[in-house]
Amino acid sequence: MTLSKKFIGLVILLVFLIFAGISLGSVLDFSNDNILKLRIPRTITAVICGAGIAIAGLLMQTLFRNPLAGPSVLGISSGSTLGVAIGIFALEALGIGMFYEKFTISVLAILGASAVTLLLLFVSKFVKHSNTLLIVGLMVGYFVSSIVSIFSFYGDKTNLQSFVYWGMGSFNKESEMDSLYFYYVPILLILFLVFFLQKPLNILLTGEKYAVSMGLNTSRMRWITITCTGILVGIITALCGPIAFLGIAVPHLARNFIKKSDHKWVIPFALLIGGSLGLICDIISRLPGLEGTLPLNAVTSFIGAPIVVWIIFKNKMV
């Protein structure tokens, strides 16, 4: 099957899933109010954020040249979570309004994600093995999580309940579309920008020495990659909570589906697969007959964990 046919097939699949996402729910309510204010925003959020976290994972795997690099494994999502925790538990005391609350939490989430990414990039200069970097990322994630736990322990109990629910992950946003544009626009802008990074990303895959010999400004490219990843992970985490495994799994699914590592093809296929898989996980979490909605991370982990194990064995990392 040619790449064009595969691409068209994924587009058709995504369109079908969008209709399914709007139609299906744990409650069989097809009123206009339920569809317009709940299911359509939720479906759009699942597609955009699923695609965004997939691209964030792809950027990390390219930057670190590590098949297991991803926002959740390397502790980047934990850094973003710390930013959100600081925002949630501090905003009420400061009396910040709704718009500024969204803005502040998003900025803190971006800063937290970017800080962890910069730390890992610094550490990567002193470690020889990719597995070592993964262990460092896990330890950073645990360390940051301990700080989050301290905030949670001393935080207001009402805010704590909201924070715990948010940490389970969810695309469910009972909001007007106008308020969600605040999150959608920067994510879409970053995804658009990534299309112009195809050649530099391909050069990064060859290694730093060869990239420099090819005339690539590796320092500037690192900063661009970190900035894009930080914004994507920060905003998506602020909106949906930390989303597990999709950032690691989707880039590998895209590469194996098209049998190529050229970012000219991997980027668009990762976008489609990320959006589709995000929507599939959301649909599963709210299938008719379920009492309420399952936590999103329960579904993404159920699907993503076996893929990560397959990656480990395929790349002979055992």
Q: What pLDDT, in 10s, does the model give residues 152-181?
A: 887 777 777 778 877 888 887 655 566 788
Question: Among 42-46, 112-116, 140-144, 169-173, which stretch is predicted with the lowest mean pLDDT?
Answer: 169-173
φ, ψ for residue 30 (rounded to 5)?
A: -110, 25
Residue 47 CA to residue 17 CA, distance in Å, equals: 10
Q: In the prediction, which pLDDT does 272 show?
A: 96
The domains found in the chain, sorted by start residue, are: 3-314 (1.10.3470.10)
Residue 60 vs residues 71, 173, 227, 251, 300: alpha-carbon distances, Å: 8, 28, 11, 10, 19
Exposure letters 78-113 (e unless 16+ CB within 10 A, then b): bbbbbbbbbbbbbbeeeebeeeeebebbbebbbbbb
CB neighbours (10 Å) of residue 60?
27
Instruction: Give ∠ CA 185-189-193 in degrees, rounded to 5.
Output: 175
Q: Tens of pLDDT along 173-228?
A: 655 566 788 889 999 999 999 999 999 999 988 877 888 888 888 888 888 888 88
pLDDT, one tens digit per residue, over 52-111 is 999 999 998 888 888 778 887 778 888 888 888 888 777 666 665 555 567 777 888 888
pLDDT at 189: 95
The pTM of this model reads 0.86
**CA dihedral (22, 28, 30, 33) positive or negative:** negative
What per-residue confidence (pLDDT) applies to 237? Answer: 87
